[in-house]
Amino acid sequence: MIASQATLSHVDDSQQPRMVDVGAKATSQLIPLCHPLSFDRCDIAIRMEHNDALIDCTVSCRGSTGVEMEALTGASIAALTIYDMCKALSHDIVIGEIRLVKKTGGKHDIGVATQEPT
């Protein structure tokens, strides 16, 4: 995602957790065959790297199911929210690659992704 540091200042720290929490909790309503889950934790971190806003979303629960769809949805909703807040400044904003970086629990654990985005 491309945004400037000044643009991202509109997303204050108090709004970031709400952004991801709302997005992650809506997963079962947005994606067919995803069932609603209760989370223990749902965190978001947005950091700037050059002109890119990098969004990390972490979700955890105590159940024996994975919550990767909730984390991916939370990151997606955060990116869309930033786009919505910044579109008055530019419609040239690009939401780039969204990927699972790490998952533990559920049927399979997945380690840190080794392929760098191009």
Out of 52, 84, 92, 109, the active site residue is 84
User: Quick check: is 21 catalytic?
Assistant: no
Contact 27, 69 (CB under 8 A): yes
pLDDT at 20 over 80: no
**Spatial distance between the Cα atoms of 55 and 45, rounded to a whole number of angstroms:** 6
- State the pLDDT at residue 63: 74
Token pair recorded at residue 37: 């889950």
pLDDT at 7 over 70: no
- State the pLDDT at residue 105: 74
- State the pLDDT at residue 95: 93
| Residues 31-56 pLDDT 10s | 898 888 888 888 888 888 988 889 99
Grade residue 19 by pLDDT with cuts at 50, 70 and 90: low
Q: Which domains does the chain have, with CATH numbers?
A: 5-86 (3.30.70.640)
